[in-house]
Amino acid sequence: MGRALGIIILLIVAWLAYSAYFILSMHPRFTGEWGYVDEATTEINIVMSLGKPAPFPITIENATVSLGGVSFARVERAEVGFLSSKAAFTMVIDNKKLVEALVKHIENGEVSDVSISLNVKLFNVLPLHYTIDKEVTTDILSYVENIKVEPETRVIGFIPIKTPGIEGIEARWGGVTREHIKIIANVKIYNPNAVPLPLMGLSSTIYINDVRVGEAHLLEKTVIKAGGRDTVGVEIIIDPGVLPRVWAEHVKKGERSVIRADIYMTLEVANRPFKVCLTSVEKTIETDILSSLSSI
Protein backbone atom coordinates (compact mmCIF):
# COMPACT_ATOMS: atom_id res chain seq x y z
CA MET A 1 0.00 0.00 0.00
CA GLY A 2 2.75 2.43 0.97
CA ARG A 3 4.72 1.58 -2.13
CA ALA A 4 1.68 2.18 -4.36
CA LEU A 5 1.04 5.54 -2.67
CA GLY A 6 4.67 6.52 -3.25
CA ILE A 7 4.39 5.69 -6.94
CA ILE A 8 1.17 7.75 -7.19
CA ILE A 9 2.83 10.72 -5.47
CA LEU A 10 5.85 10.40 -7.77
CA LEU A 11 3.59 10.35 -10.83
CA ILE A 12 1.73 13.44 -9.59
CA VAL A 13 5.00 15.30 -8.98
CA ALA A 14 6.28 14.30 -12.42
CA TRP A 15 3.00 15.39 -13.99
CA LEU A 16 3.11 18.75 -12.20
CA ALA A 17 6.72 19.28 -13.28
CA TYR A 18 5.94 18.38 -16.91
CA SER A 19 2.83 20.59 -16.84
CA ALA A 20 4.87 23.55 -15.61
CA TYR A 21 7.50 22.89 -18.29
CA PHE A 22 4.78 22.57 -20.94
CA ILE A 23 3.17 25.91 -20.02
CA LEU A 24 6.45 27.83 -19.76
CA SER A 25 7.88 26.46 -23.00
CA MET A 26 4.70 26.42 -25.04
CA HIS A 27 5.25 28.12 -28.41
CA PRO A 28 2.64 27.02 -30.95
CA ARG A 29 3.54 26.59 -34.62
CA PHE A 30 0.97 27.13 -37.36
CA THR A 31 0.43 25.82 -40.88
CA GLY A 32 -2.58 26.46 -43.06
CA GLU A 33 -4.35 26.19 -46.38
CA TRP A 34 -7.04 28.32 -47.99
CA GLY A 35 -10.65 27.28 -47.43
CA TYR A 36 -13.88 28.87 -48.64
CA VAL A 37 -13.45 32.35 -50.13
CA ASP A 38 -15.97 34.96 -51.26
CA GLU A 39 -16.14 38.76 -51.36
CA ALA A 40 -17.21 39.00 -47.71
CA THR A 41 -15.06 36.42 -45.94
CA THR A 42 -12.00 34.25 -46.38
CA GLU A 43 -11.45 31.01 -44.49
CA ILE A 44 -8.07 29.51 -43.61
CA ASN A 45 -7.90 25.93 -42.35
CA ILE A 46 -5.12 25.94 -39.77
CA VAL A 47 -3.25 23.22 -37.90
CA MET A 48 -1.64 24.32 -34.64
CA SER A 49 1.25 22.19 -33.40
CA LEU A 50 2.31 22.46 -29.77
CA GLY A 51 5.50 20.46 -30.27
CA LYS A 52 4.81 18.18 -27.31
CA PRO A 53 1.80 16.27 -25.89
CA ALA A 54 -0.54 18.36 -23.78
CA PRO A 55 -0.67 17.10 -20.15
CA PHE A 56 -4.26 18.33 -19.85
CA PRO A 57 -7.11 19.33 -22.21
CA ILE A 58 -6.90 22.86 -23.65
CA THR A 59 -9.68 25.00 -25.09
CA ILE A 60 -9.02 28.09 -27.23
CA GLU A 61 -11.86 30.59 -27.48
CA ASN A 62 -12.37 33.90 -29.28
CA ALA A 63 -8.90 34.11 -30.81
CA THR A 64 -8.32 37.21 -32.95
CA VAL A 65 -5.72 38.46 -35.42
CA SER A 66 -5.04 42.17 -35.89
CA LEU A 67 -2.78 44.33 -38.04
CA GLY A 68 -1.87 47.81 -36.85
CA GLY A 69 -4.44 47.50 -34.09
CA VAL A 70 -7.32 46.60 -36.44
CA SER A 71 -8.81 43.16 -35.77
CA PHE A 72 -9.70 41.41 -39.03
CA ALA A 73 -9.82 37.65 -38.31
CA ARG A 74 -11.20 35.35 -35.63
CA VAL A 75 -11.33 31.76 -34.42
CA GLU A 76 -14.43 30.91 -32.42
CA ARG A 77 -13.16 27.75 -30.72
CA ALA A 78 -10.43 25.11 -30.92
CA GLU A 79 -9.65 22.17 -28.66
CA VAL A 80 -6.53 20.19 -27.81
CA GLY A 81 -7.23 16.86 -26.17
CA PHE A 82 -5.31 15.22 -23.31
CA LEU A 83 -1.88 14.03 -24.62
CA SER A 84 -2.61 15.52 -28.02
CA SER A 85 -0.03 17.83 -29.59
CA LYS A 86 -2.13 19.32 -32.41
CA ALA A 87 -5.40 21.09 -33.03
CA ALA A 88 -7.20 21.86 -36.28
CA PHE A 89 -9.51 24.83 -36.62
CA THR A 90 -10.80 27.40 -39.12
CA MET A 91 -9.92 31.07 -39.08
CA VAL A 92 -12.45 33.43 -40.67
CA ILE A 93 -11.21 36.70 -42.17
CA ASP A 94 -13.56 39.66 -42.57
CA ASN A 95 -12.43 41.00 -45.96
CA LYS A 96 -13.66 44.56 -45.29
CA LYS A 97 -11.82 44.64 -41.98
CA LEU A 98 -8.74 43.29 -43.74
CA VAL A 99 -8.83 46.27 -46.12
CA GLU A 100 -9.32 48.60 -43.14
CA ALA A 101 -6.25 47.04 -41.53
CA LEU A 102 -4.30 47.52 -44.77
CA VAL A 103 -5.25 51.22 -44.82
CA LYS A 104 -4.04 51.53 -41.22
CA HIS A 105 -0.83 49.72 -42.15
CA ILE A 106 -0.18 52.23 -44.95
CA GLU A 107 -0.90 55.10 -42.54
CA ASN A 108 1.77 53.59 -40.26
CA GLY A 109 4.35 53.85 -43.02
CA GLU A 110 3.97 50.14 -43.90
CA VAL A 111 5.43 49.10 -40.54
CA SER A 112 2.88 47.44 -38.25
CA ASP A 113 2.55 44.71 -35.66
CA VAL A 114 0.60 41.57 -36.42
CA SER A 115 -0.93 40.44 -33.13
CA ILE A 116 -2.52 37.05 -32.42
CA SER A 117 -4.56 37.03 -29.23
CA LEU A 118 -5.64 33.68 -27.74
CA ASN A 119 -7.97 33.12 -24.79
CA VAL A 120 -6.92 29.72 -23.49
CA LYS A 121 -8.53 27.53 -20.82
CA LEU A 122 -6.43 24.81 -19.20
CA PHE A 123 -8.48 21.78 -18.08
CA ASN A 124 -11.22 23.72 -19.92
CA VAL A 125 -11.49 25.83 -16.75
CA LEU A 126 -8.33 27.76 -15.80
CA PRO A 127 -8.06 30.93 -17.98
CA LEU A 128 -4.82 32.00 -19.66
CA HIS A 129 -4.35 34.86 -22.12
CA TYR A 130 -1.66 34.28 -24.75
CA THR A 131 -0.45 36.90 -27.25
CA ILE A 132 1.96 36.59 -30.17
CA ASP A 133 3.30 39.80 -31.74
CA LYS A 134 5.38 40.09 -34.90
CA GLU A 135 6.45 43.24 -36.75
CA VAL A 136 5.60 43.30 -40.45
CA THR A 137 7.27 45.63 -42.96
CA THR A 138 6.15 45.94 -46.58
CA ASP A 139 7.02 48.00 -49.66
CA ILE A 140 3.84 47.86 -51.72
CA LEU A 141 4.76 50.67 -54.12
CA SER A 142 7.92 48.86 -55.22
CA TYR A 143 5.67 46.85 -57.55
CA VAL A 144 5.14 49.93 -59.78
CA GLU A 145 8.58 51.51 -59.63
CA ASN A 146 10.13 49.26 -62.28
CA ILE A 147 7.44 49.83 -64.89
CA LYS A 148 8.87 50.96 -68.24
CA VAL A 149 7.10 51.61 -71.56
CA GLU A 150 8.78 51.85 -74.97
CA PRO A 151 7.62 54.56 -77.46
CA GLU A 152 5.09 53.47 -80.07
CA THR A 153 4.03 55.10 -83.33
CA ARG A 154 0.48 56.45 -83.54
CA VAL A 155 -1.18 58.19 -86.49
CA ILE A 156 -3.05 61.31 -85.38
CA GLY A 157 -4.89 63.19 -88.12
CA PHE A 158 -2.71 61.51 -90.77
CA ILE A 159 0.42 62.63 -88.87
CA PRO A 160 2.63 59.83 -87.49
CA ILE A 161 3.77 60.64 -83.94
CA LYS A 162 5.69 58.52 -81.50
CA THR A 163 4.16 58.30 -78.07
CA PRO A 164 6.41 59.22 -75.12
CA GLY A 165 8.31 56.45 -73.44
CA ILE A 166 8.13 55.83 -69.68
CA GLU A 167 11.58 55.20 -68.22
CA GLY A 168 10.67 54.73 -64.60
CA ILE A 169 8.30 55.68 -61.77
CA GLU A 170 8.97 56.95 -58.27
CA ALA A 171 5.90 56.66 -56.06
CA ARG A 172 4.87 57.68 -52.56
CA TRP A 173 1.67 57.51 -50.58
CA GLY A 174 -0.64 60.54 -50.58
CA GLY A 175 -3.77 60.81 -48.45
CA VAL A 176 -5.05 57.46 -47.19
CA THR A 177 -8.60 57.05 -45.87
CA ARG A 178 -11.41 54.49 -45.94
CA GLU A 179 -12.88 56.34 -48.93
CA HIS A 180 -9.78 56.55 -51.11
CA ILE A 181 -6.09 55.74 -51.29
CA LYS A 182 -3.95 58.31 -53.07
CA ILE A 183 -0.55 57.63 -54.62
CA ILE A 184 1.65 60.44 -55.93
CA ALA A 185 3.96 59.24 -58.72
CA ASN A 186 6.80 61.02 -60.46
CA VAL A 187 6.90 59.51 -63.95
CA LYS A 188 10.08 59.84 -66.01
CA ILE A 189 9.07 60.48 -69.64
CA TYR A 190 11.14 60.56 -72.84
CA ASN A 191 10.06 62.31 -76.07
CA PRO A 192 11.50 60.42 -79.08
CA ASN A 193 10.09 62.91 -81.60
CA ALA A 194 12.04 65.61 -83.46
CA VAL A 195 9.54 68.23 -82.30
CA PRO A 196 8.38 69.34 -78.84
CA LEU A 197 5.53 67.27 -77.43
CA PRO A 198 2.85 69.15 -75.44
CA LEU A 199 1.16 66.95 -72.86
CA MET A 200 -2.25 68.34 -72.01
CA GLY A 201 -3.18 65.35 -69.92
CA LEU A 202 -2.10 61.91 -68.85
CA SER A 203 -4.76 59.54 -67.58
CA SER A 204 -5.04 55.87 -66.79
CA THR A 205 -7.61 53.33 -65.72
CA ILE A 206 -6.25 50.67 -63.38
CA TYR A 207 -7.48 47.09 -63.11
CA ILE A 208 -6.54 44.14 -60.91
CA ASN A 209 -7.71 40.79 -62.29
CA ASP A 210 -10.05 42.79 -64.58
CA VAL A 211 -11.67 44.55 -61.60
CA ARG A 212 -11.52 48.33 -62.01
CA VAL A 213 -9.82 49.68 -58.89
CA GLY A 214 -8.84 53.26 -59.67
CA GLU A 215 -7.90 56.15 -61.92
CA ALA A 216 -4.80 58.27 -62.50
CA HIS A 217 -4.31 61.73 -64.01
CA LEU A 218 -1.58 64.26 -64.78
CA LEU A 219 -1.20 66.93 -62.11
CA GLU A 220 -0.24 69.74 -64.51
CA LYS A 221 0.31 70.35 -68.23
CA THR A 222 3.83 70.21 -69.59
CA VAL A 223 5.80 70.36 -72.84
CA ILE A 224 8.62 67.91 -73.41
CA LYS A 225 11.26 69.30 -75.73
CA ALA A 226 12.32 67.41 -78.87
CA GLY A 227 14.38 64.35 -77.94
CA GLY A 228 14.16 65.47 -74.32
CA ARG A 229 13.28 63.98 -70.98
CA ASP A 230 11.11 65.27 -68.17
CA THR A 231 9.49 64.12 -64.95
CA VAL A 232 5.77 64.67 -64.57
CA GLY A 233 3.60 64.34 -61.49
CA VAL A 234 0.69 61.90 -61.58
CA GLU A 235 -2.00 61.36 -58.95
CA ILE A 236 -3.42 57.85 -58.61
CA ILE A 237 -6.66 57.32 -56.70
CA ILE A 238 -7.62 53.80 -55.57
CA ASP A 239 -11.11 52.88 -54.38
CA PRO A 240 -10.77 50.73 -51.20
CA GLY A 241 -14.41 49.67 -51.59
CA VAL A 242 -13.54 47.22 -54.38
CA LEU A 243 -10.48 45.75 -52.63
CA PRO A 244 -12.41 42.98 -50.77
CA ARG A 245 -13.39 41.60 -54.17
CA VAL A 246 -9.82 42.02 -55.45
CA TRP A 247 -8.51 40.16 -52.39
CA ALA A 248 -10.97 37.29 -52.91
CA GLU A 249 -9.97 36.94 -56.57
CA HIS A 250 -6.28 37.05 -55.61
CA VAL A 251 -6.74 34.12 -53.21
CA LYS A 252 -8.93 32.14 -55.62
CA LYS A 253 -6.26 32.45 -58.32
CA GLY A 254 -3.62 30.89 -56.05
CA GLU A 255 -2.32 34.20 -54.68
CA ARG A 256 -1.66 35.49 -58.17
CA SER A 257 -2.97 38.75 -59.62
CA VAL A 258 -2.48 40.73 -62.83
CA ILE A 259 -2.39 44.51 -62.52
CA ARG A 260 -3.24 46.33 -65.75
CA ALA A 261 -3.05 50.05 -66.43
CA ASP A 262 -4.61 51.37 -69.63
CA ILE A 263 -2.67 54.61 -70.17
CA TYR A 264 -3.97 57.49 -72.28
CA MET A 265 -2.31 60.77 -73.19
CA THR A 266 -3.91 63.96 -74.48
CA LEU A 267 -1.57 65.60 -76.99
CA GLU A 268 -1.87 68.95 -78.72
CA VAL A 269 -1.30 68.66 -82.45
CA ALA A 270 -1.94 71.64 -84.74
CA ASN A 271 -3.67 73.39 -81.83
CA ARG A 272 -6.12 70.52 -81.46
CA PRO A 273 -6.32 68.03 -78.55
CA PHE A 274 -6.09 64.31 -79.32
CA LYS A 275 -6.55 61.55 -76.76
CA VAL A 276 -4.22 58.70 -77.62
CA CYS A 277 -3.98 55.24 -76.08
CA LEU A 278 -0.34 55.13 -75.11
CA THR A 279 -0.25 51.51 -74.03
CA SER A 280 -1.61 48.90 -71.66
CA VAL A 281 0.91 47.90 -69.01
CA GLU A 282 0.55 44.59 -67.18
CA LYS A 283 2.41 43.31 -64.16
CA THR A 284 1.87 39.99 -62.38
CA ILE A 285 2.04 39.89 -58.60
CA GLU A 286 2.46 36.64 -56.71
CA THR A 287 2.41 36.22 -52.93
CA ASP A 288 2.87 33.37 -50.48
CA ILE A 289 0.92 34.60 -47.47
CA LEU A 290 0.31 31.23 -45.81
CA SER A 291 4.03 30.49 -45.60
CA SER A 292 4.29 33.37 -43.11
CA LEU A 293 2.24 31.32 -40.63
CA SER A 294 5.22 29.05 -40.04
CA SER A 295 7.40 32.01 -38.99
CA ILE A 296 5.03 33.22 -36.25
Residue by residue, DSSP assigns 115-178 as EEEEEEEETTTEEEEEEEEEEEE--TTHHHHT--B---EEEETTEEEEPPEEEEEEEEEEEE-S
Helices 95-107 and 243-252, interaxial angle, to 10°?
Answer: 110
Burial 184-200 (b: 16+ CB within 10 A, else e): ebebebbbbbeeebebe
pLDDT at 39: 95
pLDDT at 98: 95
Reduced to 3 states (helix: H, G, I; strand: E, B; else coil), residue 239 is coil
Any idea how long the chain is?
Answer: 296
Q: What is the set of domains in the chain, with CATH numbers?
A: 26-138 (2.60.40.10), 142-289 (2.60.40.10)
pLDDT at 245: 96
Residue ranges of the chain with pLDDT lower than 50? none
pLDDT at 157: 64
pLDDT at 101: 94
pLDDT at 289: 86
Contact 288, 295 (CB under 8 A): no
pLDDT at 269: 65
Closest among 206, 195, 183 to 264, alpha carbons compared: 206
